[in-house]
Amino acid sequence: MSYNLDTLYRQVIMDHYKSPRNKGTIDGDALTIDMNNPTCGDRIQLQLLVDDDIVKEVKFDGEGCSISMSSASMMTQAIKGKKIEDALEMSKLFSEMMMGEDIDTGDLDLEDIEALQGVSKFPARIKCATLAWKAMEKGVHKE
């Protein structure tokens, strides 16, 4: 990764950390998933409102490092309005990217998420980056 790209990615991550998208709670009857990463103390509560197999609304709350919180922000932006099937495919691609694999996103737009690809070089941080994604997977499999 070139220096400029690395710098840009770092800026995108910090932007999501300082100004998280979709942070908060959903009023009413939403599917709620609580997860944590005991290794580093990251904690997330993810809420999903799914209707007709579409993620109508998604919000998160919690605390943790910049990687886990920015990943949650990016994930909520990416899956909002998507079919469950597409959200799960994005999660699969994200996991592959975290394992250092080259991914083909096809028709799926990962938006800012690719900024997290450098995390794959730091195995201890992969769980931070994937926490929100694992919560989403757990939630939609409950649905």
100-123 average pLDDT score: 86
Q: Report pLDDT for 7.
A: 84
121-128 average pLDDT score: 92
Q: Report pLDDT for 3.
A: 58
Is the pLDDT confidence value at 1 over 60? Answer: no
Domain 3-142 coded CATH 3.90.1010.10:
yes
91-96 average pLDDT score: 95
Q: Report pLDDT for 2.
A: 52
- Mean pLDDT, rounded, of the chain: 92
Cα–Cα distance, 97 to 118 (Å, whole number):
9
Q: How many CB atoms lie within 10 A of CB 32?
A: 16
